[in-house]
Structure 1
Amino acid sequence: MKDQITPLKDSDGNNMLHLVGKYAPKNRLQDVTGVAFQMQRELLWFKEVERMIPPSYRERKNTAGLTPRELFTKNHKDLVSKGEDWMKGTANQSMVVAALIATIVFGVAFAIPGGYDQNTGYPMFMKKEIFIAFVISDAISLIFSAASSSCSYPF
């Protein structure tokens, strides 16, 4: 069936891949949340159809002189810029959350559960296994939250 559909063209000289390169209707993208995921869906659909058609059809130009990839790029510029803004906003929110976690974990590291022994200055539960597990998990969470807050804004 695909061999019969693939060579067809519309009145503008668009083959099947050109038509996929056009922007999808809004109702098709509404079930996907986030502009970046919408762009991903569009790109995956384009690549799937591209894989299906013969290589010679991928470089054919329509009456406007555009290849399917050029048409896709032209029609999706707005979605790409919206996706970049969405990703930046998401990265900013993640950075704020990571900074809050790092702040809390840093404070917990100095407010040891059980307090300190007044005579020696060592933590009261220092010899308990659960206290050692607490210290290790606190250190790990501090390292990961600090690393993620410094790496969450790659733009």
Structure 2
Amino acid sequence: MARALNRFKISVWNLVTKSVPFIKSCGELKLRHNCLLELAELALTEMKSNMGTPKMLEFLLTSGVVLDAASRGIFEFVDLCLKNFPELMWDDNFAKELIKKVVKGRHVELFRLVRTHNRVRYIAEDLSIDVDLMKAVAEWSSKCVSSDVSGAAFLLQRELQWFQVVDVSTFPSLKWLKYQEDKSTHWEVFVQQRQELLKDARQWMKDTSSSCSLVGTLIITIAFAAAFMVPGGNDNNMGIPTLLKNNSFMVFTVANSLALFSSVAATLMFLVVLTSCYAIEDFLFSLPRDMTLGLTFLFLSLAVMLVAFSSALMIVLSEQWRWIYIPVALLAAVPIVMFSILQLPLYVEMVESTYWPRLYRPLKLWK
């Protein structure tokens, strides 16, 4: 049975990789990544057994290999070195240099890892080191652009989160320390170097809110009209719907009501975004919160509108074609599947970045 299952897996894998070469390339990259990680672990173990722990620690501290990996964002290698040699974080200079490399490169997972291994918020013996750390988070470079952020507004939100978490990790008063060159505060330098990003974030918020509010207005119009033109018509004397006791009609009524209310809520949230003053501090929580809430209500209104349309179609056609339920359900599921594949990961990242940012949560070393 085990051999049969193994052969079946191999056959399915060969069939999938031949039809979709992209899957094969992803599998090869993952296999290469795992092999390199195992090779690095074996190399560290062998060097530790031959050289001994003191010499190995001296090698890692003086060679700069860990710091170079941290600056490049290689999470697995840094995690491997810190797990095998936790004594590295006992060296204050190494710990401070490591956190500066991580902050300068904007590596979220590495920052969470370093905060877990060492209480960075209490490293404050050398004030100049902490000032350099604030300089690193205040300066803007191409490394600050992350691929997992949707839009300029949420990129600015990530930058504000970096400034906040580093500011809290050291001293809140360091925010107002002066640069020696231009006598500006770290916050002033942070805002000054992100004027273009702030401009793009404002435009992105305005364009997205305008487009989404237009869609919400269309859904309001359709749902409001459908409430008075129900399938099957109304009784001429009392005005009561003729199909009131039909189950599909009740589904249509509930779904149409939800579509109307959720689209109204979404439009109101987008109007709040459009009428905002767009201060840079608003991009930390209030504007992303309003945008995610508006998108949530808009997606909900689109989904229940599909349910209302499907139920109305079933009411009209179910008497003649009783099998109409299956194709209508399949067709209604197509937009939901497309959204799940194309937009759901970015939407989840937006919600997580607003309500539960990974940057504020240290990793768990022991599970």
Q: TM-score range by the shorter chain?
A: 0.7 to 0.9
Provide, for residues 96-118 of structure 1, a one-character-per-residue CA deviation record: whole Å limited to 9, x for no partner: 11011112112222221123356
Match of 1:57 in 2: 174
| Matching of residue 8 in structure 1 with residue 146 in structure 2 | no
CA distance in 2, matches of 1:52, 1:110: 58
Question: Judging changes above 3 Å, is the alpha-carbon distance between structure 1 residues 130 and 44 closer, same or farther for their aligned structure 2 residues?
Answer: same
Counterpart pick for 2:138 among 21, 27, 31: 21
> Residues of 2 paired with 1:68 and 1:119: CA distance?
74
- The within-5 A match list for 1:53-132 is 53-63=170-180, 64-117=182-235, 122-132=240-250
Q: What is the DSSP-based 3-state SS (H/G/I as helix, E as strand, rest coil) of the residue aligned with 1:127?
A: coil
Q: Percent sequence identity over matched residues?
A: 30
* TM-score, length basis structure 2: 0.37
Q: 1:120 to 1:39 in 2, by over 3 A?
A: closer
Question: How many pairs does the alignment contain?
Answer: 150
Question: In 1, distance between residues paired with 2:156 and 2:271?
Answer: 20
Equivalent pair of 1:6/1:53 in contact (CA under 8 Å): no
Q: Structure 1: how far apart are the matches of 2:167 and 2:206?
A: 30
Distance 1:116 1:72 in 2: 63
Question: How many angstroms does 1:58 deviate by?
Answer: 3.0
Kindly provide the amino acid, as one letter, of the partner of residue 128 in structure 1.
Answer: N
Gaps of 5+ in 2: 1-94, 97-122, 276-367
For 1:152, what is the secondary structure of its paired residue? helix
Q: Does the 8 Å CA contact 1:88/1:153 hold for their aligned counterparts?
A: no
Q: Secondary structure at the match of 1:116?
A: coil
Q: How many Å separate the matches in 2 of 1:101 and 1:81?
A: 30
- Cα distance in 2 for residues equivalent to 1:59 and 1:7: 14
CA contact (8 A) 1:24 1:42 kept: no
Q: Is contact 1:17–1:68 with CA below 8 Å preserved after alignment? A: yes
Shift of 1:140: 3.1
Match of residue 39 from structure 1: 156
**Is this contact kept in 2: 1:39–1:80, CA < 8 A?**
yes
Instruction: Show structure 1 runs of 4+ deviating over 6 A.
Output: none
CA offsets 1:3-41 (integer angstroms, 9 cap, x no match): 4776238xxxx622022101131x541512300011011
Summarize the Cα distance change of 1:113–1:5 in structure 2 as closer, same or farther, 3 Å threshold.
farther
Q: Which AA in structure 1 matches 2:153?
A: A
Cα 1:117/1:59, change in 2 over 3 Å: closer
Does residue 152 of structure 1 match 2:270?
Answer: yes
User: Cα deviations across residues 101-149 of structure 1 (Å, max 9, x unaligned)?
Assistant: 1121122222211233567653221233442342233223223323432
SS of alignment partner, residue 128 of structure 2 = coil
SS at match of 1:62: coil
* One-letter identity of the residue aligned with 1:106: F
Higher relative contact order (CA 8 A, sep 6+): 1
Any unmatched runs of 5+ in structure 1? none
**Root-mean-square deviation (CA), in Å?**
2.6
